């Protein structure tokens, strides 16, 4: 009895140690809830294919987050859920695999799937000899879509950011060289060699080639051909309405001016009634 009592504490300590060891084993060794293919990845957590047979001829244990991706085989080996036909991840699948767009790559037609800067949605860059936008032609930049190629790419559009500016465009008095002739605001719409007054020129009607300083005036046609401000080829004394004739309107104007002057200065000799 005494010997049993003597070894009781030792027995109890060994029982406690055993439970400690069992506890460590339970909590330190991972237990996978679902790993049918035995690749060490749990299908309920991150293994996208846990079937030992796998998919696309690839065994299941070679498909998991730690696997190396093989592009263009239609299998997501590394379980990253990225489109398998878009290596450069620019959102465009390789042009050689039509019908494979979707997910992370909703568009098709990538002519260089190794460079994310090259795809049908990219902006063409001048001088690099590369078909950046995959339209089949290199360096044909037409950013403003006016059908004229940027001058920097060898074209004739002097401002490829403005669709109203190109060779042959109508010049506008806006401080820009709209027609790309090298001169700003040299508008001469009627081609009479006189620039529009709105652009700082002397042509008072740039839509009529018969109207310019020095043109022959046709009296009374309501057109100021020679841009002198009158519809006459002479200044007729008393022609106050600019009609090139003395008429009742002129007399009415003179009477109104006389009355106005006399109200303001009744002592003016011209306003004193004759005796």
pLDDT, tens digit, 9 for 90 and up, residues 38-92: 888 987 888 888 888 888 898 989 999 999 999 999 999 999 999 999 999 999 9
Q: Which two tokens stand for residue 19?
A: 């439970």
| Cα angle value 28/32/33 (rounded, 5°) | 130
**What is the rounded distance in angstroms from the CA atom of residue 149 to the CA atom of residue 180?**
13
**What is the rounded distance in angstroms from the CA atom of residue 98 to the CA atom of residue 113?**
13
**What is the rounded distance in angstroms from the CA atom of residue 38 to the CA atom of residue 61?**
6
Chunked into runs of 10 residues, the chain (275 residues) has average pLDDT values of 51 58 51 73 84 86 92 93 96 97 97 97 92 93 91 90 90 88 85 87 89 85 84 60 62 70 69 61
What count of Cα atoms within 13 Å lies in the side-chain half-sphere of residue 185?
9
Whether the Cβ atoms of residue 163 and residue 155 lie closer than 8 Å to each other: no
Q: Given this model, what pLDDT does residue 102 score?
A: 96
Whether the Cβ atoms of residue 79 and residue 61 lie closer than 8 Å to each other: no
Q: Given this model, what pLDDT does residue 96 score?
A: 96
Whether the Cβ atoms of residue 60 and residue 78 lie closer than 8 Å to each other: no
Q: Give 5-30 pLDDT, tens digit per residue.
A: 555 555 566 666 555 555 555 454 45
In sequence order, the 6+-apart residues with CB closer than 8 A to the CB of 70 are 77
């Amino acid at each position: 009895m005494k010997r049993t009592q003597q070894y009781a504490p030792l027995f109890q300590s060994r029982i406690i140690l055993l439970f400690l060891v069992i506890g460590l084993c339970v909590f330190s060794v991972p237990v996978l809830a679902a790993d049918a293919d035995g690749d060490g990845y749990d299908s309920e957590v991150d293994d996208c294919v846990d079937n030992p047979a796998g998919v696309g001829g690839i065994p299941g244990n070679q498909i998991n987050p730690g696997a190396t991706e093989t592009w263009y085989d239609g299998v997501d080996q590394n379980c990253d859920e990225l489109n398998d036909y878009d290596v450069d991840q620019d959102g465009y699948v390789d042009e050689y695999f039509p019908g494979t767009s979707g997910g992370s790559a909703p568009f098709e037609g990538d002519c260089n799937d190794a460079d994310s800067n090259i795809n049908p949605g990219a902006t063409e860059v001048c001088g690099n000899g590369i078909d950046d936008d995959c339209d089949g032609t290199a360096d044909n930049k037409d950013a403003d879509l006016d059908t004229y190629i940027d001058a920097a790419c060898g074209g004739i559009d002097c401002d490829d950011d403005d669709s109203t500016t190109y060779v042959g465009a109508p010049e506008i008095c806006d401080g820009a060289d709209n027609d790309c002739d090298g001169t700003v605001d040299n508008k001469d719409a009627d081609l009479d060699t006189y620039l529009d007054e709105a652009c700082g020129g002397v042509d008072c009607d740039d839509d009529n080639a018969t109207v310019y300083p020095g043109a022959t005036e046709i009296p009374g046609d309501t057109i100021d051909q020679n841009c002198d401000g009158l519809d006459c080829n002479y200044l007729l004394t008393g022609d106050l309405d600019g009609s090139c004739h003395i008429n009742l309107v002129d007399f009415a104007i003179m009477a109104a001016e006389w009355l106005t002057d006399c109200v303001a200065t009744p002592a003016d000799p011209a306003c004193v009634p004759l005796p």
